[in-house]
Amino acid sequence: MGTFGRRLLLAVDAKGYGGVDVVTQREWQEAIRRLLREAAGEAGLDWEQWTTQVGGDSVFAVLPKGASEPDLVDPFMRHLEAGLRTFNRNRRDEARLRLRAAVHFGTASPAANGFEGRAPVEIGRMLDSRVLKAALAAAPAAQLALAVSATVFNDVIGEAYTTIEPQEFREVLIAEKEYAGRAWIRVPGYDVTALDLGETEPGAEGGARGATATDVRPQSTPTAPGDRVVQVITGTVHAPGSVFGISK
C-alpha cells in the first residue's frame, strides 16, 4: 500500500510540438528543462528536490513536501513567462516555444511507475483540456497559459498570498474523460475573460465562465417603489454583523 500524502504538482506541455521539425523539437526539449530549472531557482524553489517525469515536450513534476504554493503560482510563473519571452525573441513564429501549464495540490503517493492518486490524473486532465488549449490559441502573442485547480485558487490566490489578483483568472468547467471539475485559467498579458474559448452554451467547457446549467439563475425582476420583498430562508444562516428585519 502506498503512503498517503498531499503534494504540490506542476505539469507543462508545449503547443504544436508535433508540427515542428526535429531540430526545433530538440531545441524545445532542452529549453523546457532549462527554463523550468531557472524559474525554480529564481522563485526560491529547490529544483534538485523535484521528482520529474519527462515526455518529450511535456514535464510532470511533484514538488517536495513543504514546497511553497504561492511561490510556484506567482514568482515561478512570472520567471517562466519571462524566460519564454527571451527564448522566443527573434525566432520565427512557427518555432516559438509556447507552454500550457497546470498547478494542483492533492493526493499523490510514490508508486512503482511514478506517482499514484487522484491529483496526478486531475492535473493531467487540466493540462490537456480543450479550454486551456483554446485560451493559448486565442492569445497569439502569449508565451504561457496557466490553469490552477480550485484548491490552489481558493487557498492561494483567493486568500491574497500572491501578487496576482483573482480577477486575472477565469473560472471554467473542465470535462475530460472521467474527470469533471472547475479550474481557473490565466494568460499573462491578456484579459482572459475576453478570450474566445470556443464554447458559448452554459455548462459547456469554457462557456459562460464555466457555469453549469444549475448555476444559471434568472435575472431579478425590478422592485417597484412601495413594494415589500419577503425572503424566506430555511436552515442556519451564518451572517455575523448582519441586521435582519422580522415581520409578523
- Please report whether residue 235 resides in a domain: no
Higher pLDDT, 56 or 16: 16
Alpha-helical regions (H) of 43-129: 69-71, 77-88, 118-127
- Predicted TM-score (pTM) of the model is 0.78
* The pLDDT of residue 3: 64
pLDDT in tens, 145-194: 999 999 999 999 999 999 999 999 999 998 877 778 899 999 999 999 99
- Look up the domain containing 198 and give its range: 6-214
- Please report whether residue 221 resides in a domain: no
Quote the mean pLDDT of the chain: 82
116: amino acid identity, one letter: E
Q: Residue 15 contacts by C-beta under 8 Å, 6 or more apart in sequence? A: 98, 99, 100, 133, 136, 137
Q: What is the mean pLDDT of residues 81-108?
A: 95
Q: Report the Cα 18 to chain-centroid distance in Å.
A: 23
CB 69, CB 161: distance < 8 Å: yes
Beta strands in 16-150 (DSSP E): 51-54, 58-62, 99-107, 109-111, 114-116, 144-149
CATH classification of the domain holding 73: 3.30.70.1230
- Please report whether residue 237 resides in a domain: no
Q: How many folded domains does the chain comprise?
A: 1
CB 157, CB 73: distance < 8 Å: yes
C-alpha to C-alpha distance for 207 and 65, rounded to whole angstroms: 36
- Please report whether residue 238 resides in a domain: no
Q: What is the mean pLDDT of residues 102-127?
A: 84
* The pLDDT of residue 112: 63
Query: Among residues of the chain, what percentage have pLDDT more than 90?
Result: 64
- Please report whether residue 220 resides in a domain: no
- Please report whether residue 54 resides in a domain: yes
In terms of Cβ atoms closer than 10 Å to its own Cβ (0-12, 13-18, 19+), residue 184 is buried
C-alpha cell at 170: 477565469
* The pLDDT of residue 5: 75
**Model confidence at 236: pLDDT above 90:** no
Higher pLDDT, 103 or 55: 103
